[in-house]
Amino acid sequence: MNLNHYFSDKRGVGVLSTADSEGRVDAAIYARPHVMEDGIIAMIMRDRLSHKNLQENPYAVFLFMEAAEGYQGIRVFLKKIREDQNKELLDKLTRRSLSPEEDASKGPKFMVYFSVEKVLQLVGGQEL
């Protein structure tokens, strides 16, 4: 499945699910991920619970429910491979428009990179 094409074409709601080292699960609303040229998924994160969980457990699932009739979308199973705080890239890829003061008040941002382990339909177990 071409995730770059999929996420550039579809609109909807994304939920990133993570768990800490003891298996306590969290879910948070996230924007569509950035798909890099090499197929790596990148997400901009603040230093909050999802980011903290990924320091302890590199696995996550990004569920994307399309803004369409019925239950359409995908589940993307991810493994964190690295992160950085490249300000130029973060500024370039940030989609929200905040003033520099508003952005700074929300805390540091991280670009977190994931390999894609598998992609399943939103409903059912069919691998895409």
Nearest alpha-carbon partner for 116 in 79, 73, 83 = 79
The predicted structure's pLDDT at residue 101? 84
- Strand ranges in the chain using DSSP code E only, listed in sequence order: 12-19, 25-30, 34-35, 41-46, 59-66, 73-84, 109-121
pLDDT in tens, 45-81: 999 999 999 999 999 999 999 999 989 999 999 999 9
Please state, in angstroms and as integers, the Cα–Cα distance from residue 63 to each residue in 60, 77, 84, following that order. 10, 9, 23
pLDDT in tens, 92-104: 888 777 787 887 8
Contact 54, 48 (CB under 8 A): no
Contact 32, 14 (CB under 8 A): yes
State percent of the chain over pLDDT 90.
Answer: 77
Nearest alpha-carbon partner for 77 in 21, 20, 17 = 17
Where do the domains of the chain lie, and which CATH numbers do they carry? 3-121 (2.30.110.10)
- pLDDT category at 121 given cuts 50, 70, 90 is very high
Alpha helices in 10-83 (DSSP H): 49-56
